[in-house]
Structure 1
Amino acid sequence: MKQVQKIKLGISIGDLNGIGSEIVLKTFDDSRMLDFCTPVIFASAKIITFLKKQYKLSLNFQGIDDPSKAIDGKINVMNVWKENVNINFGEEDPEVGKYAFLSLEAATAALKNDDIDVLVTAPINKSSIQSENFNFPGHTDYLARELEGESLMFMITDTLKIGLLTDHVALKDIASVITPELIQKKIDIIHETLKQDFRIQKPKIAVLGINPHSGDNGVIGKEDEEILKPTLHKIREKGKLVYGPYSADSFFGSKNYKNFDAVVASYHDQGLIPFKTLSFGNGVNFTAGLNKVRTSPDHGTAFEIAGTNSANINSFKEAVFKAIEIYKCRKEYRKLTQNALKKQGRKDTNKKLFTKDN
């Protein structure tokens, strides 16, 4: 009997001066994780050997020079570079940022080529990584360019899912960025990802207002009355279960979020402050809307504790499990959709033949 090949899970190492390498290696220091996937860490055997000693870990790994050659049952380290890297934990360093990009670039290329099935990204420092090759506010925008589809930052746990209309946009620009087209596009992405990635057939979605108290009928800004409400009305007319806008200040405290499959926040902090308050350390950042699966932990580089061997691995481990789960759900959804289309095609053919014969 042929053994089923495990999901190949690619990992970009993130900023080496942060906690990314610690949470990656500690996660797979537990050999039971190899029962769920075949990890491929994009870095170098030299740096992983150094970090293994730094964190006093016992994990065994094998170096490879081609991600397609990763072996099941092993921790695979793809040698993206050969030279030594000077690590100074807790420091912001553009030189280290260069290696964070090299890792991400190689992992993304492997994902595009189907050499890996999913990608989990360790945290980057958004300042250190900036260069001619990476001129983005974060992973999400870079991946949107490299992979097909429209990206959306979707923060998820089993009980709370929050998507953003705008993510890394300055607060002063929010109102001008939110348009009917953007609202429609982002809600379409969330609706589709809830169906194909989370097995929710008829998603129920709440939308938070742009202004305090959703504008109080135009008293505190007119964006909710003139842009958000009419757009949501048009979306509802098309059959989607979309509700709001809700006043953001009371929505979470009243636990109203529990009545919905997902919540749409207008801007970054409006969504991420309640999300991290309710689920920090267990949440996952999922980039919805792409043709490939990418997740990451819900925290950053944590320079303040980097190198101290004290980082919490829970969010990264959840990101691994969610990537695997979403990949399987999406594969199943596509298979069901294809079967339904084939079945419909046969019905249409039979109908034509029947009409012709009669």
Structure 2
Amino acid sequence: MIKNAENIIVGISIGDLNGIGSEVVLKTFEDSRMLELCTPVIFANVKILSFIKKNFTSSVMLHGIDKLDQIVPGKINVYNLWREGIDINLGTNNDKVGEYAIKSFVAATKALKEGIVDVLVTAPINKYNIQSETFKFPGHTDYLDQELEGNALMMMVQDNLRVGLLTDHIPLSEVASHLTEELIERKIQTIKQSLIQDFSINKPKIAVLGLNPHCGDGGVIGKEDDAILKPVLKKIFDKGTLVFGPFPADGFFGSGQYEKYDAIVATYHDQGLIPFKTLSFGKGVNYTAGLNKVRTSPDHGTAYDIAGKDIADYNSFKEAVYLAIDIFRSRNQYEEISKKPLKIKEKQL
């Protein structure tokens, strides 16, 4: 059954409490109309958020709950995941604060898996202070890939601009060795399926960027594009997927060529994220495609340098909430349509 908008429950992991996460989360819900779109549930502690709130202009009213069956529509629910106090020093790196960031994220993910919340929006974490004996993941995406069904793929979204990655958080020196036929086919299929079910695009067109400058110039500047990318993309195209490339990455965005496609696939992290963040004007969203649940996040980090100064731009987080809701609706509609048998009227003779 497709949910009414106000009944969509958005789980929010609070991220690094010393960063700008709390600020962008609470400022997002300053606009009371947001509560007509969804019911937020923040996994943290209401007293700590009330303390942090004093550092920036905010009039939001927080509703503390001690159990997840106490969620109230129309309220900014804060699930008291812990009771103890935390030493908060905005703008500083603290390993103890990192522990609570992961505690929030793990609990929110569990609620997502169990269907208590419908979608998950994650505030920024510090990838260094979250590491422990019990959490050894580079970030949110890798943990979600383990906990949720499917194959996680990092996709950056801003309106009709969608940039997916073949490889994400790995050293540049290792990118070429990761570009196998199996990985490329799997990632392209994940992007295609996401465009269909998450963005309601029936016949998506996908462009792939080359690995080397000028796509290797016929092997003069690297052989990976000719030896790996081109034959795999042809194979995928011949099977019916509208995938094109590889294209030289240097002029692809500046020429406006990206506007012809429903998604662009970069071979490595910065190849995709530098042009994306340049074009998205602070409203970009990081979406984890390919999983059986919906997770989004803003496209920025903890921003310690401006934490507590009341100047953090919350637009990316707000867009992350919007996108999570839109994808949730789109998936529900896709599933409803998929369940209906195809009815073909008999031609009357």
Q: What TM bracket, shorter-length normalisation?
A: over 0.9
| Counterpart contact for 2:55–2:309, Cα < 8 Å | no
- 1:172-211 alignment to 2 at 5 Å? 172-211=173-212
How far 1:87 moved relative to its partner? 1.0
Report which of the two has the higher share of helix. Answer: 1
Segments of structure 2 that go 5 or more residues without pairing to the other structure are none
Q: Are the aligned partners of 1:280 and 1:298 in contact in 2 as well (CA < 8 Å)?
A: no
**Shift, 1:33, TM fit:** 0.9
Q: Which residue of 2 aligns with 1:142?
A: 143
- 1:115-130 paired onto structure 2 within 5 Å: 115-130=116-131
Q: Normalization by structure 1: what TM-score? A: 0.93
Residue 68 of structure 1 deviates from its aligned partner by: 3.3
Decide whether the 8 Å contact of 1:7 with 1:36 is kept in 2. Answer: yes
Distance 1:253 1:173 in 2: 27
Task: Tell me what 2:276 maps to.
Answer: 275
State the number of aligned residues.
343
For 1:164 and 1:26, the matched residues in 2 are separated by 30
Corresponding residue for residue 20 of structure 1:
21
Equivalent-residue separation in structure 2 for 1:205 and 1:269 (angstroms): 19
Gaps of 5+ in 1: 348-358
Letter in 2 for 1:228: L
The corresponding residue for 2:71 is 70
Are residue 214 (structure 1) and residue 215 (structure 2) matched? yes
Residue aligning to 1:337: 338
Greater Rg over alpha carbons, structure: 1
One-letter identity of the residue aligned with 1:156: V
Q: Which amino acid aligns with 1:325?
A: D
Structure 2 distance, partners of 1:68, 1:132, is 31
Q: Deviations over 1:117-165 (max 9, x none)?
A: 0000000000011112221111111110111110000000112100000
Q: Partners in 2 of 1:281 and 1:74 — Cα distance?
A: 27
Q: For residues 1-358 of structure 1, what are the structure 2 equivalents within 5 Å?
A: 4=4, 6-340=7-341, 343=342
Contact 1:42 1:107 in 2 (8 A): yes
Listed one character per residue, the Cα deviations across residues 224-264 of structure 1 (whole Å, up to 9, x for unaligned) are 11111010010001011000000000101111000000000
Cα distance between partner residues in 1 of 2:140 and 2:197: 22
Tell me how far 1:48 sits from its aligned partner.
1.4
Give the deviation of 1:59 after TM superposition. Answer: 1.2
Cα drift, residue 282 of structure 1: 0.7
| Aligned equivalents of 2:23, 2:95: Cα separation in 1 | 20
1:68, 1:116 within 8 Å by CA — same for their partners in 2? no
Give 3-state SS (helix, strand or coil) of 1:282's partner: coil
| 1: CA distance, partners of 2:134 / 2:118 | 24
Identity of aligned residues (%): 61
User: Normalising by structure 2, what TM-score?
Assistant: 0.96
Cα root mean square deviation, aligned: 1.5
Shift of 1:306: 0.7
User: Separation in 2 of the partners of 1:131 and 1:30?
Assistant: 37
CA distance in 2, matches of 1:168, 1:244: 23
